[in-house]
Structure 1
Amino acid sequence: MKKVIIIGAGGHSAEITDYITHYNNSVAPELCFDVVGYIDDNKENYDSYSLVSPYLGTIQDHEVSEEAEYIMGIANIQFRRTIVENFLQKGAKFATLIHPSAIVSPSAIVGEGCVVAHNASIGPKAIIGNFNMLNSRCTIGHDSTIGNFNFIGPQVVLSGFTKVGNNNMFGVNSATIPTIEIGDNNTIAAGMIITKTVKDNETHFYRFKEKVVIT
């Protein structure tokens, strides 16, 4: 079994814990994840959920384990990259977790420290970088490339040949048309359909919403 420590002990970590349970039920015992425990700077997060393993203390005071790998269980994109890079500097290793219900093409590549949630789909020749969160029922189209430290929300659709940089947040049900390029550090609001290039450090959202009634 592979020992893992989950960084964070809130709702996102609880979801990841469920993914691990489903994963462990689908693989041979030697391939299972053994959750050693959770670290979180706010113990109240841990106390709010019936997590399977003990609270191990704060992230700030945690000494990196040589016997366990880590899984990022914090959803807030403002903290994810900083924490991961700090742990990497201390010698931490990160596991990649792919839910058994996800469909991943044999020709796709999924990097270190990624979590791929249930019913997600990664198409042929797609390249997923490191430390990305691909949430439930999202679709990464064929020949798409995703950089590092992106958070892909539930039911997001990135169409074929989409190129995404680093540290982007995609809200629920957002999407791209084919061949779109998105840079770094962007926020794509829920429900947005991206039809033009997005550079860096931008937020895309609907300023006005129209209601069309057909009679």
Structure 2
Amino acid sequence: MEVIIIGAGGHAAEIDEYIAFAGFDRSKTPAFKVAGFIDDNPASYARYKLSAPFLGSIREHVIQKDKQYVMGIANLAYRRPIVERFLAEGARFATVIHPVAYVSPSAKIGTGVVIAPYVNIGPNVEVGDFTLLNARVSLGHDSAVGQHNFISPNVSFSGFTKVGDDNLFGINSATIPGITVGNRNKIAAGMVLDKSVEDDTVVFYRFKEKVIATQKI
């Protein structure tokens, strides 16, 4: 199946390489072939050695019914509006799972999801449509993640974590077991959520650590 990647910047370049990776091993056949990239900023395309041609702007793009699409823009402000417009015009979206990610057989993965290298998705996990799981993300057993979330590298959700829609989790953030996170939140890099978060919240605080020094005898 040929796919068109929406966006031609850094995140799109990563997805381009995820798709190509399966072809590096001769025992595997890539599930997709990249047909091209669309972006409202042509300069983005010039920055990277992408595998397929530039097909023009997102704004003026006419949906190609014989191809599927992959959301390759990282910014949450643009992801959902573009996806909803494309869906309304009849676009179909592919789910891209890197070959070295682990996805439990009991997990449920939605449409338009992108799963990066070394992601670990445990038993009974649910991942909603158009959520991005960046490199080395770990989703503990029985966690549920909604739609249009951007999960940065090295994020770890402990078991039974529940996450709504349109959330941004910064790099190295984490939850303790059983935490619930609502919608449209921004969790800063390195934050460990030990309390549930409602909606439209920015979570950032400085840790106050007590260091206990033991004198050597």
Tell me the residue number matched to 2:184. Answer: 185
Q: TM-score, normalised by structure 1?
A: 0.95
Tell me the residue number matched to 1:61. Answer: 60
Provide the rounded CA distance (Å) in 2 between the counterparts of 1:210 and 1:125: 35
Amino acid of the structure 2 residue aligned with 1:198: V
Provide the rounded CA distance (Å) in 1 between the counterparts of 2:161 and 2:115: 18
Amino acid of the structure 2 residue aligned with 1:17: D
Provide the rounded CA distance (Å) in 2 between the counterparts of 1:160 and 1:209: 23
> Residue 92 of structure 2: SS of its match in structure 1?
coil
Tell me the residue number matched to 2:152. Answer: 153
Are residue 18 (structure 1) and residue 27 (structure 2) matched? no
Tell me the residue number matched to 1:129. Answer: 128
Deviations 1:67-125 (A, max 9, x none): 11000000001110111011000000000000010011000010100000000000000
Deviations 1:149-181 (A, max 9, x none): 001100000110000000000000000000000
Tell me the residue number matched to 2:50. Answer: 51
Structure 1 residue 32, shift from structure 2 partner = 2.7
Amino acid of the structure 1 residue aligned with 2:155: V
Amino acid of the structure 2 residue aligned with 1:63: V
Amino acid of the structure 2 residue aligned with 1:36: A
Q: Say if 1:130 and 1:147, in contact at 8 Å, map to a contact too.
A: yes
Superposed, 1:81-100 pairs within 5 Å as 81-100=80-99
Q: Say if 1:36 and 1:53, in contact at 8 Å, map to a contact too.
A: yes
> Residue 56 of structure 2: SS of its match in structure 1?
coil
Tell me the residue number matched to 2:119. Answer: 120
Tell me the residue number matched to 2:203. Answer: 204
Provide the rounded CA distance (Å) in 1 between the counterparts of 2:53 and 2:212: 57
Tell me the residue number matched to 1:140. Answer: 139
Amino acid of the structure 2 residue aligned with 1:67: D
Structure 1 residue 25, shift from structure 2 partner = 3.8
Provide the rounded CA distance (Å) in 2 between the counterparts of 1:111 and 1:24: 24
Runs of 4+ in 1 over 3 A off after TM superposition: 24-29, 208-215
Q: Say if 1:24 and 1:32, in contact at 8 Å, map to a contact too.
A: no
Structure 1 residue 24, shift from structure 2 partner = 3.5
Q: Say if 2:149 and 2:166, in contact at 8 Å, map to a contact too.
A: yes
Provide the rounded CA distance (Å) in 1 between the counterparts of 2:28 and 2:154: 30
Q: Say if 2:22 and 2:28, in contact at 8 Å, map to a contact too.
A: no
Q: Say if 1:105 and 1:123, in contact at 8 Å, map to a contact too.
A: yes
The unaligned stretches of length 5 or more in structure 2 are none
> Residue 81 of structure 1: SS of its match in structure 2?
helix
Q: Say if 2:139 and 2:159, in contact at 8 Å, map to a contact too.
A: yes
Structure 1 residue 212, shift from structure 2 partner = 5.1
> Residue 70 of structure 1: SS of its match in structure 2?
strand
Identity rate of aligned residues, in percent? 51
Structure 1 residue 34, shift from structure 2 partner = 1.1
Provide the rounded CA distance (Å) in 2 between the counterparts of 1:141 and 1:156: 11
Q: Say if 2:141 and 2:160, in contact at 8 Å, map to a contact too.
A: yes
Tell me the residue number matched to 2:38. Answer: 39
